[in-house]
Chain A
Amino acid sequence: MKKLVLNLEPLTCPSCIKKIEGALKRLDGISEAKVLFNSGKVRAEFDENKVSVEEIANTVSGLGYPIVSQKVS
């Protein structure tokens, strides 16, 4: 299992949280997805054999939330 942190622009809508979390949780290989509203961070735990960082990042940016930076650990 790997951990990914995506830094987004500050979130300004309450509905963004559930939308992003919901989209990520639907991806195969994501065991946990959490949007931190105050800091504009997305934390995801994923299986790199099932889903790539690129796929996760594309899902978030595809929803209309540009990614400022990302970190995998």
Chain B
Amino acid sequence: MNAKRTSQITAITGLLLAVAIGFHLYGFHEGRQTMLIAATILAGIPIASKAFKALKMKAFSIELLVTIAVVGALFIGEYVESAAVTFLFLFGAYLEARTLEKTRSSLRKLIDMAPLEATVIRDGETQTISVDDVIEGDRVVIRSGEKVAIDGRIVTGKASLNEAAITGESVPASKMIDDRVFSGTIVDHGFIEVIAERVGDDTTFARIIELVEDAQESQSKTEKFLDRFANIYTPSIVVLSVLVYIFTRNIEMTLTFLVIACPGALVISAPVSIVAGIGNGARNGVLIKGGDIMEKLAKIDTVVFDKTGTLTRGKPEVTDIHSIEIERTDLLRLVAEAETISEHHLGQTIVKEAKKQGLQLLSEPQNVEVIKGNGIQATIDGKVLTVGNRKLMDAKDILIDSEMEAYATAREKEGNTAIFASINGKISGILSIADQIRPEAKKALRELRASGVRQIIMLTGDNRHTAELVGAQLGLDQVYAELLPEEKVAMIKQLKAAGHRVAMAGDGINDAPAIATADIGLAMGEGGTDISMETADIVLMADRLDQFSHAYSLAKATVRNMKQNTFFAVGTVALLLTGVLLGKVFLASGMLIHELSVLLVILNAIRLIRYTKRKSFNQRKIKFDLQAQ
């Protein structure tokens, strides 16, 4: 029997009950009884049909219990009870389905954003094809109002793109030649042609959907507890109902026990909160990988940040080149040639600066040695170039004289990272690189504290002076500088050993070991990179720190919601049991309470869909301000 037919039956049953009430008011007893029996039979058909299906499969079902209870009620002449129970059961199921649809709406809307078609240029011809038929290297055309169906780089045109599907950010982003675009985003206005780099299931959007779907499956501790509880509850109630009948011969009480034997609110109280919370996160560009992660994040008291690309914008620029006995441009060219193979963001910044100045980087670096966290050594045109921090110079026995040291320290105190460059074992210059603090950082950290974070720490491989400057500007509790990746891991372990619950936020690439060590790992910087999606428990897709504060307060709200639902569900069970045993709850009222409890936990979870950190933060702030007055 399909859902439409069942809702029609529910409506007719409701009408029959209304007529029965009318007959009752006018004292037409026979008519009332007839209407009640008709309503019972009509509403009982779909219930009994499901019960029969389950019975065929040797499955124990609530429908079977309700059918037994209703047949029993008819048998003893309790027509009001039988009609009310069947109607409430069907009507409750209808409302549950509708409200559950609402809790899942965020995720459904996200999935609905998936593009279905793409316009490609093949052999000079423009054709619209299914998104599944697009292959890597295809030239894809996206016009104003159309969805991007692949990940790739723009080769022609420029456009303003709504990237909400990926980042949760509703403000359109301007894109031009060489910029990356992502599947699922929409061209607000403009025209672009893109070479497809990732198609189908490999696109960022497809992986987001996969992550979100997987996230719904990882069970939180609360869910596991409720599962175990529900497994004990139903058989216990059935056994209890048999015992009640044996000892009391009270058929009505026995039937009522059967009606309340389904732990409806119990089994869904946690999952509905989780799905609504994850949906809210996904819509705001925060990917939270499951209910257990939600619970862990809500308990965090210490947040550890990497500096570059996390607290700072991650777009460093060369601010100064100080050279000795060599032309600045020559030093820049040599260092850039050595750094061409480097994956480090500072190395890439130097290469970018050299290209910006129009320098030709022709020499291939030889005998390359990458010293993780410290720098690089390579041979360029027969010269041995050593580029990195003081530790590297010290390790390679390269002397930094007092004048150079004083210059480097002065640059660092102004917020720069000083990169020492040595040629054949002698310091030839210092390149200064600076990175701006993220504009939203201060506010996001304030919100994290307001939501319950007790201490905020920064761990960085960068120099002490720059780290202290950033720490002072952002009001951090502790700053640890000049750390190697393994030292960051040791720091996280130390914090955990001291009893702190630690979240580590980094760019997901250099910080992967520390992110993996922390109780909760957050990846930002390049939201959507493979490594950050795999390593982190939480991915911030819009590359914004305020998404972190949203994730934290959302996790707290979700866990709070889950607890409310759990207490309510367990409370309802206790209330029903007590009520039945005291003879205060009967068939119809038992069914009513049962259905209402299920609806209430769903409705409570729905509140999470519209949850915004700003609202709760402002409420707390107002409360705090009032207390302060």
Residues of A with Cβ closer than 8 Å to B? 10, 12-15, 17-20, 22-23, 26, 36-39, 41, 59, 62-64
Interface residues in B217-272 by Cβ distance below 8 A to A read: 217, 230-231, 234, 262-268, 271-272
- Residue on A nearest B66 in the bound complex, by CB: A15
Separation of A65 and B606 alpha carbons in the complex (Å):
25
- Residue on B nearest A23 in the bound complex, by CB: B59
What are 24 A-to-B residue pairs whose CB atoms are below 8 Å? A10-B100, A10-B101, A10-B104, A12-B101, A13-B93, A14-B262, A15-B63, A18-B231, A18-B234, A19-B54, A19-B61, A19-B62, A20-B59, A23-B54, A23-B59, A26-B58, A26-B59, A37-B268, A38-B271, A39-B216, A62-B53, A62-B56, A63-B53, A64-B53
- Partner pick for A23 among B58, B96, B274, CB 8 A cutoff: B58
Separation of A19 and B58 alpha carbons in the complex (Å):
10
- Partner pick for B59 among A10, A22, A38, A39, CB 8 A cutoff: A22
Does B598 have its Cβ within 8 Å of any Cβ on chain A? yes
Separation of A13 and B271 alpha carbons in the complex (Å):
12
Does B419 have its Cβ within 8 Å of any Cβ on chain A? no
Does B129 have its Cβ within 8 Å of any Cβ on chain A? no
Q: Are B60's CB and A18's CB within 8 A?
A: yes
Given A15-B264, A38-B216, A39-B213, is A23 in contact with B57 using a C-beta cutoff of 8 Å?
Answer: yes
Residues of A with C-beta under 8 A to B199: none
- Partner pick for B57 among A39, A41, A62, CB 8 A cutoff: A62
Number of A-B contacts (CB under 8 A): 74
Separation of A42 and B600 alpha carbons in the complex (Å):
26
Q: Are B217's CB and A14's CB within 8 A?
A: no
Residues of B with C-beta under 8 A to A23: 54, 57-59
Interface residues in B30-83 by Cβ distance below 8 A to A read: 50, 53-54, 56-63
Residues of A with C-beta under 8 A to B60: 18-19, 22
Separation of A19 and B266 alpha carbons in the complex (Å):
15
Q: Are B57's CB and A59's CB within 8 A?
A: yes
- What count of chain B residues pass the 8 Å CB interface test? 35
Interface residues in B381-419 by Cβ distance below 8 A to A read: none
Residues of A with C-beta under 8 A to B53: 62-64
- Partner pick for B96 among A13, A17, A62, A63, CB 8 A cutoff: A13
Separation of A10 and B217 alpha carbons in the complex (Å):
13
Separation of A44 and B97 alpha carbons in the complex (Å):
25
Separation of A12 and B58 alpha carbons in the complex (Å):
22
Expressed in whole angstroms, the minimum distance between the Cβ of B322 and any Cβ of chain A is 58
Given contacts A19-B54, A64-B50, 8 further A-B contacts (CB under 8 A): A12-B93, A12-B101, A14-B266, A15-B262, A22-B60, A36-B217, A38-B104, A39-B216
- Residue on A nearest B56 in the bound complex, by CB: A62
Expressed in whole angstroms, the minimum distance between the Cβ of A19 and any Cβ of chain B is 5
- Partner pick for B61 among A10, A15, A38, CB 8 A cutoff: A15
Q: Are A12's CB and B96's CB within 8 A?
A: yes
Residues of B with C-beta under 8 A to A15: 61-63, 262, 264
Separation of A38 and B602 alpha carbons in the complex (Å):
12
Q: Are B264's CB and A14's CB within 8 A?
A: yes
Residues of A with C-beta under 8 A to B267: 14, 17-18, 37
Does B9 have its Cβ within 8 Å of any Cβ on chain A? no
Does B456 have its Cβ within 8 Å of any Cβ on chain A? no
